[in-house]
Amino acid sequence: MSFLDLKNVTKIYPNGTKAVHETSLSINEGEFMVFVGPSGCGKSTLLRMVAGLEDITEGDINLDGKLMNEVDPSERDVAMVFQNYALYPHMNVYNNLAYGLKNRGIDKETIEQKVNDAAKLLQISDYLQRKPSMLSGGQRQRVAMGRAIVRNPKIFLFDEPLSNLDAKLRIQMRLEIKKLQQKVGVTSIFVTHDQVEAMTLADRLAVINNGIIEQLGTPIEIYDNPKSLFVAGFIGSPQMNFLDGNLKNKTLSAEGFEIKDINSDYEGEVTLGIRPEHLIQTENGLINLKVDLVEQLGSDNLVYGQLKNKKDFCYRCPGNQTIEKGSNLSLNIENNKHYIFDKSTGKRVN
């Protein structure tokens, strides 16, 4: 049995909302798991059930070999970092960190030692006497992390802890969280709706949609091999291009072009997915793109335009290429990297 084990976990709120559907998931000790999905898909609910802050309607949660369903959150030995940090406003930073230890009846010297160690690790030693209201957003974030670390819990839970920070700080904290987790080695679950955050942090990633885990795997697996239309559209930035098409006799006919020798026996209406970064410019390519707009990011250019049938399409090329607005590009699919999904179910068919 793995470290954290969710078995057919379902959550139905008292008002009838079914937030999580029969979800099963195993997380190994020391693993960094990320739950990613759009707003309202049930990520927080799942996390809060692990913490014990929500009752489990059905199913079992096992942590370190013990059934957690009826265990009070104060007894679970988990630590959580909330989106708005939920620091204790009337306590200074030192006491914010020390509170959980005091409740465990640990003696004063040990507490002081642990708090100072955690503070040093997070570089908040200088603020120990300050109240949270006298700290910047990034510092509060660190205090919230410190409060989790200092108790040395079985598992860290993060519920979108970076979403209140500005873009630059977010990237910096993201890195620090990852480094810290590797250093401390604590099993962690991190909830986010930002797919870049998800990709960069995760050892493994669970893409959640409507209360169901659509796909579970390493970030690269999920990026390279999305199992459904939803996952394909959600992971990757800019988003994958989707075109309607028809698959018959291993031949795909889409908007004005055909791809032969498709590795699938499926026949019928399909959606073809092509990532913007899997395209190359050639002469007489499959796809003709009329350029509307070019976003220059420096390293890359994002080229937005329309196909013949007025369908929006995006192409990503290296930043050193100059592309004129209004020009026509001829594109091919690089290494035949394309994804085909059943149009009605969204399941991958190739």
Partner 1 sequence: MKIKPLQIIAHIILILGVLLMVVPIWISFASSSHDSVTILTEGMKFHIGDQLARNYNEVLNEKGGWSEEVTAAKMFINSFIMALGIATLKVAISAMSAYALVYYRFKLAVPIFWLIFITLLVPLEVRIFPSYKIVSDLGLTNSYTGLILPLVASATATFFFRQFYKTIPDELLESAKLDGANGWSFFIDFLVPLSKTMIAAMFIFMFVYGYSQYLWPLIMTTAEEYWTVVMGMKIIYTESYEGVALPRTAERFAYIILSMIPPVLVVVFLQKWFIKGLIQTEK
Ligand X SMILES: Nc1ncnc2c1ncn2[C@@H]1O[C@H](COP(=O)(O)OP(=O)(O)OP(=O)(O)O)[C@@H](O)[C@H]1O
Question: Please, which of residues 10-29 interact with ligand X by CB under 6 A?
Answer: 13, 15, 17, 19
Q: Which is nearer to Mg ion, 12 or 323 (CB)?
A: 12
When asked if residue 66 is in the footprint of partner 1 (CB under 8 A), the reply is no
Site string for ligand X, 164-203 (x = CB under 6 A): -----------------------------x----------
Binding residues with ligand X: total (CB under 6 A): 13
Stretch touching partner 1 by CB under 8 A, among 38-46, 73-81, 120-128, 177-185: 73-81
Binding residues with Mg ion: total (CB under 5 A): 1
Stretch touching partner 1 by CB under 8 A, among 47-55, 61-69, 220-228, 279-287: 47-55
Q: Which is nearer to partner 1, 52 or 276 (CB)?
A: 52
Q: Which is nearer to partner 1, 30 or 73 (CB)?
A: 73
Q: Which is nearer to Mg ion, 44 or 301 (CB)?
A: 44
When asked if residue 99 is in the footprint of partner 1 (CB under 8 A), the reply is yes
Q: Which is nearer to ligand X, 17 or 182 (CB)?
A: 17
Give the strand pairing for 287-296 and 300-306.
antiparallel
Kindly report the backbone phi and psi dihedral angles of residue 120, in degrees, each rounded to the nearest multiple of 5, phi listed first: -65, -45
Q: Containing H/E element for 222?
A: helix 219-224
Out of ligand X, partner 1, Mg ion, none, which partner does residue 78 contact, by CB within 5 to 8 A per kind? partner 1
Q: Which of 70, 72, 166, 261 binds partner 1 (CB under 8 A)?
A: 72
Out of partner 1, ligand X, Mg ion, none, which partner does residue 45 contact, by CB within 5 to 8 A per kind? ligand X
Buried b (16+ CB within 10 A) or exposed e, 49-80: bbbbebebeebebbbbeeebeeeeeeebbbbb
Q: Is the dihedral of CA 122, 125, 131, 137 positive or negative?
A: negative
Question: What letter represents residue 212's amino acid?
Answer: I
DSSP 133-183: GGS-HHHHHHHHHHHHHTT--SEEEEESTTTTS-HHHHHHHHHHHHHHHHH
Q: Which is nearer to partner 1, 90 or 325 (CB)?
A: 90
Out of partner 1, Mg ion, ligand X, none, which partner does residue 238 contact, by CB within 5 to 8 A per kind? none
Q: How far apart are CA 211 and CA 38, in angstroms?
A: 10
Q: Which of 25, 41, 279, 314 binds ligand X (CB under 6 A)?
A: 41
Q: Containing H/E element for 11?
A: strand 4-12
Out of partner 1, ligand X, Mg ion, none, which partner does residue 89 contact, by CB within 5 to 8 A per kind? partner 1
Cα 106-111-115 angle, rounded to 5 deg = 145
Q: Is the dihedral of CA 86, 90, 91, 92 positive or negative?
A: positive
Contacts of residue 120, defined as CB under 8 A and 6 or more positions apart, other chains included, come to none
Q: Give the three-state DSSP class for 271.
A: strand
When asked if residue 285 is in the footprint of partner 1 (CB under 8 A), the reply is no
Site string for Mg ion, 17-56 (x = CB under 5 A): ---------------------------x------------
Taking the chain, what is the end-to-end CA distance rounded to the nearest angstrom?
A: 33
Contacts of residue 319, defined as CB under 8 A and 6 or more positions apart, other chains included, come to 296, 297, 298, 299, 300, 301
Residues that bind partner 1 (CB under 8 A): 51-53, 72-74, 76, 78-80, 82, 84, 86, 88-90, 99-100, 103-104, 133, 147, 151
For Mg ion, the binding residues (CB under 5 A) are 44
